[in-house]
Amino acid sequence: MTRVSWTTVIGAVSLLVAAYLFYHTFDPVYDVSIVTAGRGPVFFPRILLALMLVLSLAVTIEGLRLPHRFFSGRTLLIVVSTIALTGLYIGAITAVGFLIATVLYVFALPFLLGYRNVPVIGAVAAIYPLTVWYLFDKVFLIILPSSPWFDSF
Amino acid sequence: MDALSLGIGHLLTLPVLVSVFAGTVLGVVVGVLPGLGSVVGITMVLPFTFTLGQIPALALMLGIYCGSVYGGSISAIVINTPGTPQAAATALDGYPMARRGEADLAIGWTTAASVIGGLFSVAVLIVAAPQLAAFSLNFTAIEYFALGVFALICIANVSRGAMLKGLLSGVIGLFVATVGVDHVTGDMRFTFDNFEMTAGISLVPAIVGLFALSEVFVRASETHVLKEQSMFRVGFRLPPWSEWKPRLGILFKSCAIGSFVGALPGTGAATAAFISYSEAKRSSPRRDKLGTGEPDGLVAAESANNAVTGSAMVPTLALGIPGDPVTAVMLGTFVVHGLAPGPRLFTEHLDLVYAVFFILIAVNLLMFVVGAVGAQAFTRVLRVPEPILMACVVVISLIGAYGVRGNPIDLIIAFVFGVVGFLFRKNGFPLAPMVIGMVLSEMIENSLRQGLLITRGDFLAFFERPIALALFVLTAAILLWPPIRWALDRRTKADTKKMDWTSE
């Protein structure tokens, strides 16, 4: 059985999203304003979504001619883990604070990407986040999310 | 004259001079590291600009921009891996020169050609931008609409062999920017009653995701096979004047090519370098030696790619229309710092425009000193383990995404765009049209709606204005050319087959 290419998958997802949003533009909530020569807030987005529908369909069909090619085995695992780890890190920034989340992330990511020199990773994970946090939070006064347990970080 | 002296005054302040220096050095470092291009470089320094004033922030950005275009050539010469795509043509002659033991000379040629190319493009910017801005003062909303559509189509069109994907990417970008408050009516669009979404999807987190985070995911997806990499002893040696003299023609022709290509929307420094290299291969008296370590190749590629930097700023500054992702990010930074590029910038903030000119001159001159003094040191950057570098890139880029508004939703936006960017890059969808679409969306929408007000809702009246008509015709030609070419190719092939059959 031939598997569909990722181009087709992306095209199809885009098609579905565009179809749903196009349908959504007919929601009564958008009938409130008819200024600008009778063109309300969804006048322009509706044109774009119509274009998106046509182009997504064309890309979906174009993708059917392409071979299925993506990652397999170990590479797929690394990619999915990297994306998941970054997602977790972003979630952790607001949950446990920037500094703690960053120390853990800077330690874990190189390890995940195959760099196993623990003393070097440990040193970088200790120094880099602290420097960056101090520089932005204390010197530049760009207040980064802090942890619920400590006042300062 | 007042604006001119104010412009010089802006440059000669400590924060600006420090920013110029730091930007140029960091730019070269970013350029040297393969994969981290100008956009990632600018994204990484974005959080630092939040606390800087307008002009030091611009100086930092411009330093990164010019420095990174030059820096890519160092790794192209030393390890045969261009640090940025713009330096790919440089490797063709730079690496063979290094293998001959002339890495220092290759860096000398590259540095001098880059500086001359960069300064040439600043001259183009100084001459062309005010003229274009003055000309565009006659533009109405209709011309701006036509121009916006034309720029976007150009950018989607240069996505070689992937025009459909490029157009889809551009339309997605245009749509993403419509989320949030409608600037004309004040109504909410596509927020689905989510308060955080009322502020819309801002450009900076999207760029951080599309370029910086997706770069990390792409690196994770590449199986790293350790290749035997040569690392030559690097120094800096300028070629004598007698070597330059026969190459002045190529130098200035390449500067002109780079400046012309840079001003066009959708084309970047990589395109300019290859066009210029091809031209040198066609016309140089030493064309037979090109590709074997001939300085003509270095001069052509490096002067052209650096000549893009200034001229790419022409439409960005004069019209507010970026030509590539780098200038789109710069434009975003202008807006973050309360400046709106376009013709009014030249009437209301002329001192700032002059400051940009002087900063670019200073950056290019400094690039020569930095290259001459630090070539050896910059190659050491290549020894930093890539996984550690990637972790550092993610952290600093996310601060950039978060710092603009201090809103945690921007971190989520960056992540979502990171995944989208990764999937797009892995499947041949270009990212540049999406970014440019996001930047141009508001302008295109507002000018379309204003234009329809002017013409009382008659869209056909848009074609009655000559400049708009010319732009619409060009847009249609760009869109229709690929199918026409395809049909012509098919016909030619069919004719050839027929001729073969009859001759048999």
- B423 vs A10, A37, A112: nearest CB: A10
Q: What is the number of residues in chain A?
A: 153
Per-residue pLDDT of B157-211, as tens digits, reads 766 568 889 999 999 999 999 999 888 788 889 998 888 888 889 888 999 999 8
Would you place residue A38 in the very low, low, confident or very high pLDDT band (cuts 50, 70, 90)?
low
Report which secondary-structure segment, H or E, holds B46.
helix B38-49
Q: Give B387: exposed, middle or buried? Use CB within 10 Å, 0-12, 13-18, 19+.
A: buried
Report which secondary-structure segment, H or E, holds B189.
strand B188-189
Would you place residue B226 in the very low, low, confident or very high pLDDT band (cuts 50, 70, 90)?
very low
In this prediction, residues B341-350 reach a mean pLDDT of: 84
CB spacing of B189 vs A106 below 8 angstroms: no
pLDDT mean across residues, chain A: 88
CB spacing of A59 vs B168 below 8 angstroms: yes
Per-residue pLDDT of B44-98, as tens digits, reads 888 888 888 889 999 999 999 999 989 989 888 888 878 888 888 898 899 899 8
pLDDT at B461 over 50: yes
Q: To probe the interface with A, which of B165, B416, B454 has the most A CB atoms within 10 Å?
A: B165
- Looking at residue B193, the DSSP 8-state letter turns out to be T
pLDDT at B389 over 70: yes
In this prediction, residues B361-368 reach a mean pLDDT of: 93
In angstroms, the CA B77 to CA B390 distance is 23
Per-residue pLDDT of A124-151, as tens digits, reads 999 999 999 999 888 888 889 988 888 7
CB spacing of A45 vs B190 below 8 angstroms: yes
Beta bridge partners of B180: B189
Q: Which of B327-331, B441-445, B465-469 shows the lowest per-residue confidence on average (mean pLDDT)?
A: B327-331
pLDDT at B1 over 60: no
A100 reaches B (C-beta below 8 A): no
pLDDT at position A110 is 93
Would you place residue B502 in the very low, low, confident or very high pLDDT band (cuts 50, 70, 90)?
low
In this prediction, residues B431-455 reach a mean pLDDT of: 89
Q: What chain A residue is nearest to B425 in terms of C-alpha separation? A: A7
The complex's ipTM works out to 0.93
- Looking at residue B209, the DSSP 8-state letter turns out to be I
In this prediction, residues A66-73 reach a mean pLDDT of: 72
In this prediction, residues B467-482 reach a mean pLDDT of: 89
Would you place residue B231 in the very low, low, confident or very high pLDDT band (cuts 50, 70, 90)?
low
Q: What is the 3-state secondary structure (H, E, C) of B445-494?
A: HHHHHHHHHHCCCCHHHHHHCHHHHHHHHHHHHHHHHHHHHHHHHHHHHH
Per-residue pLDDT of B283-336, as tens digits, reads 888 888 888 889 999 999 999 999 998 898 888 888 888 878 888 888 887 887
Q: What chain A residue is nearest to B443 in terms of C-alpha separation? A: A44
Q: Which of A97-101, B37-41, B113-117, B335-339 shows the lowest per-residue confidence on average (mean pLDDT)?
A: B335-339
pLDDT at B341 over 50: yes
pLDDT at position B78 is 85
pLDDT at position A129 is 95
Q: Which residues contact A86 (CB under 8 A, 6 or more apart)?
A: A105, A109, B213, B216, B217, B394, B415, B418
pLDDT at position B500 is 67
Q: What percent of chain B has pLDDT over 70?
A: 95
End-to-end CA distance of chain A: 54
Would you place residue B504 in the very low, low, confident or very high pLDDT band (cuts 50, 70, 90)?
low
pLDDT at B229 over 60: no
B403 contacts in A (CB within 8 Å)? Answer: 136, 142
CB spacing of B171 vs A48 below 8 angstroms: yes
Q: To probe the interface with A, which of B427, B429, B442, B458 has the most A CB atoms within 10 Å?
A: B427
B172 contacts in A (CB within 8 Å)? Answer: 14, 52
A113 reaches B (C-beta below 8 A): yes
pLDDT at position B412 is 94
Report which secondary-structure segment, H or E, holds B180.
strand B180-181
CB spacing of A82 vs B427 below 8 angstroms: no
Task: Report the C-alpha dihedral over residues B474, B475, B478, B480, rounded to 10 degrees.
Answer: -110
Q: To probe the interface with A, which of B163, B189, B431 has the most A CB atoms within 10 Å?
A: B189
Would you place residue B225 in the very low, low, confident or very high pLDDT band (cuts 50, 70, 90)?
very low
Would you place residue A100 in the very low, low, confident or very high pLDDT band (cuts 50, 70, 90)?
very high
Q: What chain B residue is nearest to A83 in terms of C-alpha separation? A: B217
A88 contacts in B (CB within 8 Å)? Answer: none
In angstroms, the CA B22 to CA B422 distance is 30
pLDDT at B383 over 90: no
